[in-house]
Amino acid sequence: MATLLKELPSFSTLLAAYASISAMAMLIRSILNEMVPEKMRKYIATKFTELVSIHFNSDFTFVIEDRWKAADNQIFRAAEVYLPTRVGPSSDSLLVGSNDPNDPTAPIKRSIPPDCTITDDFEGMRLKWSFSSIETKKYYVPNKRFFSLTCKKSDREKVEKKYFPYITKIAQDILNKHESLNINTYDQECSMWESAVFKHPATFETLAMEPELKQFIMDDLDAFVQRKEFFENVGRAWKRGYLLYGPPGTGKSSLVAAIANYMRYDIYDLQFQSVRNDADLRRILTSTSNRSILLIEDIDCSTNVSRDRAKPKEIVEEEEDDEPGPNRSAFDPGVTLSGLLNFIDGLWSSCGNERIIIFTTNHKDKLDPALLRPGRMDVHIYMGYCTPAGFRKLSTTYLGIKDDKLFGSIDDLLKSVEVTPAEVAQQLMISEEPKVALNGLIEFLNMKKNKVEENEAEEEEKSSKEKEAKKKKKTVERQNSMQAAETDTRCIYLT
């Protein structure tokens, strides 16, 4: 120990060394000042400060808000899906719940509560997540929600380039695999989409439609999914619009459910009455997720949206006055057609991918031609009355039979009576015994046929009576005018 102490330099030696180093530093500094241009010196100084701060002040925080430039923030969404899978022993709380009323034993769903902290490890980095929600007092966005992700400053680039794409991919995989679909309805009070589990039995298999039309729709959906690159190359938003039209009870809603089940897409069911104005509409629509169906049912009932702009305003007002009921809603929405169309194929349409937009209507003729223009709604599908092929599908689904000797008479009746698949389905549900149900259906169809024939006969009688009355009126008028002419002539003669 004593030898070791002896070998240490003395205090005066250290002082001398410090003095000479300082002198050397000053000398180097003045040489640098003389020789290196100011810009270069500043650059070196900044780099040096950066290097020091990286080593000594090591934390960096990413703030990920739920909205990004008027649209849903996809990194936020990815984090929302990904983080519940990373809840480990270090986390102190977790939101759990279940929203499947049909299955109380369904696995619980997890979500991150406010102020909860989650630690994640990725390629040697330690990443700390926390979630916060603050009130904004703005009616259209009552809460601002955001995640904070803290990492080492030196890891910042790696987080941006590798970690974010990684969690986005994992979240997408989770969403693709999730078993249950959701149906979202817009809650005007909270300005949020309310989600519920969507379990609808309708599939393309159960739909009573012409097989060719069914196949056409399925092929169209398949082609849509596979054409991501095509849409990018031609500079179009990756969307597909379907207009389903036809009388009530012909299966428009069932087709929407079948499309959702086929594509495994969530549904966003939008009631126009709940939209305040165009700005509100934009916000609502941009907070829907990719791989989803935006459904607007009975579009003809939203007068502002469906009004035929080709007609003069006075005519439209007159028509509306004549026609109370669903077409003239007490809650006329504040949304305009242009607001809706701007979203469908305007600039807003580029927000999001893999979207299907479905409009349904019972009165296609009442829709604005601008809504029907080619390119707006890509496919128009007519859902018509029950055909023999449709009936066969319904009998397979409801009675479990593909053929019966009563089918022939039912086919004949279906060719002459307009009956909806909903009506046929209702008759088939009357009994589990096929014979009873089929005979019930025949009776129902005959009753309908007789009613139609009676109505036609009545109409014919009415119109022939009207014709007769018109004829009589004309004869009387002619006689009166002849008499008048005679009187006039007499008068002229007399004068």
Ligand X SMILES: Nc1ncnc2c1ncn2[C@@H]1O[C@H](COP(=O)(O)OP(=O)(O)OP(=O)(O)O)[C@@H](O)[C@H]1O
Count of Cβ atoms closer than 10 Å to residue 428 Cβ: 20
Of 191 and 250, CB closest to ligand X: 250
- If the CB atoms of residues 280 and 300 are measured against ligand X, the closer one turns out to be 300
- Give the nearest distance from C-beta 209 to ligand X in angstroms: 5
Q: Which is nearer to ligand X, 251 or 352 (CB)?
A: 251
Interaction between residue 254 and ligand X (CB under 6 A)? yes
Q: How far is the CB of 329 from ligand X (least distance, A)?
A: 16
Contact between 251 and ligand X per CB under 6 A? yes
Under rule CB under 6 A, residue 249 binds ligand X: yes
Going by C-alpha positions, the residue among 67, 440, 14, 81 that lies closest to residue 288 is: 67
Using rule CB under 6 A, residue 422 touches ligand X: yes
β-bridge partners, 125: 122
Q: Which is nearer to ligand X, 213 or 316 (CB)?
A: 213
Buried b / exposed e along 310-328 (16+ C-beta atoms within 10 A): eeeeeeeeeeeeeeeeebe
Pick 298 or 319: Cβ nearer ligand X: 298
Q: Which residues of 451-473 are buried (b: 16+ CB within 10 A; e: fewer)?
A: eeeeeeeeeeeeeeeeeeeeeee
Residues 155-194: x/- map of binding to ligand X (CB under 6 A)? ----------------------------------------
- Residue 381 near residue 244, CB atoms below 8 Å: yes
Instruction: Using the CB atoms, write b or e for 433-446: b if 16+ within 10 Å.
Output: ebeebbbbbbebbe
Q: What minimum distance in Å lies between the beta carbon of 362 and ligand X?
A: 5
Task: Provide φ and ψ at 183, rounded to 5°.
Answer: -115, 130
Among 292, 362, 395, 427, binds ligand X (CB under 6 A): 362
Nearest Cα to 253, choosing from 207, 311, 322?
Answer: 207
Q: Establish if 301 lies at the interface with ligand X (CB under 6 A).
A: no
Joined together, the tokens standing for residue 195 give 């989600």
Binding segment for ligand X (CB under 6 A), chosen from 1-9, 153-161, 419-427, 473-481, is: 419-427
> From the CB of 182, what's the least distance to ligand X, in Å?
19
In the list 171, 207, 221, 438, the residue contacting ligand X (rule: CB under 6 A) is 207
Cβ proximity to ligand X: between 339 and 390 the closer is: 390
CA distance 407 to 445: 13
Q: Rule CB under 6 A: is residue 384 a binding residue for ligand X? A: no
Task: Choose among 97, 81, 73: nearest CA to 146.
Answer: 73
State yes or no: residue 253 binds ligand X (CB under 6 A). Answer: yes
Q: Which residue is nearest to ligand X (CB)?
A: 251
| Interface with ligand X (CB under 6 A) | 206-209, 248-254, 362, 383, 421-422, 425
